[in-house]
Amino acid sequence: MLASDHHRMKLESNQQGIIFSFNGFISEGILFALGDALKKKMSQDDTDVCTMKRVFSVFVEQAQNIIRYSAETLAKAGMEANRISSGVITVGSEAGRFFVVCGNVMRREEALPLQARLEKIRNLDPAGIKAFYLDRIRNEPDPDSLGASLGLIEIARRASEPIQYDFLDIDELNTFYCMKVFI
């Protein structure tokens, strides 16, 4: 049972073109290690430099979003750089294109503003995304943002089609947020 269960799990992942899928608490150290494996895998497969950089960038921004914004987080005040947070992150390829999927639990009240930002970005064409990026980088980040609030726009900029996202309310307080990006 042990081997057959896990073998089935592995086969299903392989059939979906998954390079790796991580589920659990993620730290900046894990981000670095997964990113390193991803670079090496893409390099061995002779992926072109631009595609590698785009996939890597989407992966880093998504992983940092989990670390910073997942509701399931362990962080001590003043130790934000050592924060670990729970989520899922998957990188794979489908019909010749790479994809990166991330997901994490978040508070329902925080989901609404995020959804509005995602929808705004989804409706922009590449020139609009670029203009939005430049506007955000010139101006100060959102007060509630731990990063530069540029991450989502950077992700959209590296994507080859509009980003897909979804929310699933899991109880009165929490929602599961998920995003899939094709590069």
Partner 1 sequence: MREVPVENMFIPAMERSPEVDFRFLGNRIFLRGEAYPEDAAAFFGPLLKRLSAHCDAIRGQELQVEFRLDYFNTSSAKALMNMIQILENAVRTGTQVTLRWCFQKDDEVMREFGEDFSMELQHVDFQLVEI
CA atoms of 89 and 81, how far apart (whole Å): 20
**Position among 60, 71, 105, 129 found at the interface with partner 1 (CB under 8 A):** 60
CB 146 within 8 A of CB 68: yes
Q: Which residues contact 129 (CB under 8 A, 6 or more apart)?
A: 121, 153, 156, 157
**Which C-beta is closer to partner 1: that of 80 or that of 94?**
80
Cβ distance to partner 1 smaller for residue 105 or 153: 153
| Distance in angstroms (rounded) separating the CA atoms of residues 103 and 40 | 24
Asked if 74 is part of the footprint of partner 1 (rule: CB under 8 A), the reply reads no
Site size toward partner 1, by CB under 8 A: 27
Amino acid of residue 63: A
**Region binding partner 1 by CB under 8 A among candidate stretches 6-14, 114-122, 134-142, 170-178:** 134-142
Please state the closest distance from residue 61 (CB atom) to partner 1, in A: 6
Hey, which residues between 104 and 133 contact partner 1 (CB under 8 A)? 130, 133
